[in-house]
Amino acid sequence: MNATEDRDQSIPENAPAFDADLHAMPHCKRCNLAYLPNKSTSALKLTYCSFLCELGDLGFSMQGLEHMQRVPKEVPADPQPQLVAAAE
């Protein structure tokens, strides 16, 4: 005799609708997993489930973007010889 044979295998009619709860939760744009926005480590909590999904999808994080600084463009040392060479 198996230890689980005496268990009731029927599903109660008033079982909670877990599938409905999962469909109501937001899904991550990158991995498509359902997640709780208040548990997300991403700055874009309603879009990504974690910092890693945000970084993987965008290529940068929002916190990194806030601290990013522009690199100044390098100006050619002597632009005049280039213009003369192009005219000849």
Tens digits of pLDDT across the chain (88 residues): 566 666 666 655 555 556 666 678 899 999 999 999 999 999 899 999 999 999 998 888 888 888 888 888 887 776 565 555 555 5
Please report the pLDDT score of residue 18 as a whole number.
Answer: 64
Task: Give the whole-angstrom CA distance, residue 49 versus residue 67.
Answer: 22
Does the pTM exceed 0.75?
Answer: no
Delimit the domains of the chain by residue range: 32-67
Question: Which tokens sit at 41?
Answer: 């480590």
Question: Which tokens sit at 85?
Answer: 């060479």
Please report the pLDDT score of residue 74 as a whole number.
Answer: 85
Please report the pLDDT score of residue 82 as a whole number.
Answer: 56
Pick from 17, 16, 42: nearest CA to 28: 42
